[in-house]
Amino acid sequence: MPLVRISLMKQENKEFGRKIGKIVHQEMVHTISVPEKDRFQVITEHDNNSLIYDSNYLGIHRSDGIIFIQITLNEGRDVGLKKSLYKNIADSLHNQLDIRREDVLISLVEVKKENWSFGNGIAQYA
């Protein structure tokens, strides 16, 4: 069960964050075999006082169109799959929503299966 947190600057289009979330989920299903109905996301919009970033870190030129995507998921996927996921998310966001690839920051947080409770106070995978 991935839990996806998406942070972006405030948008006039209130559906923009939801569209990003849909694309991220589609790429997780396609690239790392997440089940289609396994969609849990928190999408937050910020102003420039609460979404802080370096505009040139590692020589990548970022803009206020930056999007932080943090995906918490079960551990165990190899580096090749992770690289494919990063690329596929950035490419799909660019192709479908015209988001600059330079503005897509992705962080994976891997956890053991027993660290999840899907409800009822039960560790369903433990």
pLDDT one digit per residue (tens) for the chain, 126 residues: 799 999 999 999 989 999 999 999 999 999 999 999 999 999 999 999 999 999 999 999 999 999 999 999 999 999 999 999 999 999 999 999 999 999 999 999 999 999 999 899 999 888
* Extents of the domains making up the chain: 3-114
Query: Per-residue DSSP letters for the chain?
Result: --EEEEEEE--SSTTHHHHHHHHHHHHHHHHH---TT---EEEEEE-TTTS---TTGGG----TT-EEEEEEEES---HHHHHHHHHHHHHHHHHHH---GGGEEEEEEEE-GGG---BTTB-TT-
pTM of the model: 0.94
Instruction: For domain 3-114, give its CATH number from 3.40.50.970, 1.10.10.10, 3.30.429.10, 3.40.50.1820.
Output: 3.30.429.10
